[in-house]
Amino acid sequence: MTLNIGVIGTGAIGRDHIRRCSKVLQGARVVAVNDINRDNAAKVVSDLQLDARVYDNGHDLIKAADVQAVLVTSWGPSHEEFVLAAIAAGKPVFCEKPLAVTAQGCKNIVDAEAKHGKRLVQVGFMRPYDQGYRALKQVLTSGQIGEPLMLHCAHRNPTVGEAYTTDMAITDTLIHEIDVLRWLLDDDYVSVQVVFPRKSPKAFPHLKDPQIVLFETAKGTRIDVEIFVNCQYGYDIQCEVVGETGIAKLPEPSSVQMRSGARLSTEILTDWKDRFIDAYDVELQGFINDVAAGKLTGPSAWDGYAAAVTADACVAAQLSGEIVPVTLPARPAFYGK
Ligand code: NAD
Ligand code: NAI
Ligand code: ISE
């Protein structure tokens, strides 16, 4: 069976996901595309030589009879509306992070999905599909370094555009760590504080960059995450776990070591598309397979909600400078353990 997919949002990641659904993955094809900028959508169809119809709005695409599943890759503030419409149409939907830009928006989705009675939503949190994070989790669960006591993490982008604002460091960037560290540690956050170091002159005047986010978890683990989105030198994701008896570090992406010009060097990637390319393939193939099997198993709307509750607390902590509690309601039975 081939799954007919409709894609809303044909920007950077929308185009990349369309490419992988059309050229890399098995069991799916893109039959419909939409973007608020129609030329963007039409260009993807011609560039990739797709047999796909361009829709003038996302809601018509969702309702189209030949669209069996929906990919939402438009910008964050539009996600909630499209995911709710897909649920109303009873169609499985893969939504890029964030599921919605506020916790209330995610709660609306969780409530609609529960009312529908069956999981229809997968959120594009791809890091738990990354081989490096999986290997790190394996080390932690094997007990080789004892219980985790502290984590030192960094999320660095070379540059960001002028539209990127201080709160997006949380809702767009840190949201990946918020999700993956909860999964890695099998723990929940209880409080957060944000501190602002000296500002980089490379950032636009309205943006506070870098930032340091300090979490405490229910088990008492302390986490510091540096977010630095104008670091200039590369796309760099770091995660070091300090345990009772040792230290475990996220592996670097593999790269050829060079001796040249009196230097020993390895390459650092510069684009998020390359850093997690395999993880994106695995997460989306998982979605396609799960839709065919009739049961979604990837990151759920509840995971999207849990991340958004934490993100709301982080944004409040940015504004107040105080330590802000993170309070997550108990997970409903609908979403499993
Ligand atoms: P982008 O700005 O390049 O592309 C977004 C596209 O969506 C644009 O073409 C825009 O015109 C379109 N769009 C916006 N609102 C729309 C609407 N209401 N209906 C239809 N189209 C709409 O952004 P991007 O980098 O591709 O990011 C898109 C989403 O993917 C974001 O939510 C982002 O957080 C997420 N993302 C996730 C990852 C990841 O690592 N998982 C990486 C990049 C982006
Ligand atoms: P982008 O800006 O390149 O693309 C966004 C696209 O959405 C644009 O083409 C825009 O025209 C379109 N769009 C916006 N509003 C729309 C609407 N109402 N209807 C239809 N189209 C609309 O952004 P990018 O980088 O592709 O990010 C898109 C989403 O993907 C974001 O939510 C972002 O957070 C997420 N993302 C996820 C990544 C990941 O690693 N999982 C990496 C990068 C982005
Ligand atoms: C982008 O949307 C992503 O998801 C990238 O993974 C992240 O590094 C970047 O900061 C976001 O803007």
Give per-residue burial for 147-166: e unless 16+ CB within 10 Å, then b: ebeebbbbbbbbebeeebeb
179 lines ligand 1 (CB under 6 A): no
User: In testing the pocket of ligand 1, which one of 38, 54, 73, 176 has its CB within 8 Å of the most ligand atoms?
Assistant: 73
What is the atom index within ligand 3 of the atom nearest the CA of 168?
Answer: 12
Minimum CA distance residue for ligand 3 atom 9: 173
Phi, psi of 288 (to 5 degrees): -60, -45
Average pLDDT, rounded, for the chain: 97
Helix runs in the chain, H state only: 12-19, 38-47, 58-63, 79-88, 103-116, 131-142, 168, 175-185, 272-275, 277-293, 301-320
What is the atom index within ligand 2 of the atom nearest the CA of 37?
Answer: 11
Q: Ligand 1 centre from 11 Cα, in Å?
A: 5
**DSSP helix/strand/coil, 50:** coil
pLDDT in tens, 290-322: 999 999 999 999 999 999 999 999 999 999 999
pLDDT in tens, 25-52: 999 999 999 999 999 999 999 999 999 9
C-beta separation of 6 from 64 below 8 A: yes
Predicted ipTM beyond 0.90? no
C-beta separation of 121 from 301 below 8 A: yes
pTM metric for this prediction = 0.91
Q: Ligand 3 centre from 172 Cα, in Å?
A: 6
What is the atom index within ligand 3 of the atom nearest the CA of 169?
Answer: 10
Q: Which of 194, 223, 188, 137 is nearest to 303 (CA)?
A: 188
Residue 337 clears pLDDT 80, i.e. is over it: no
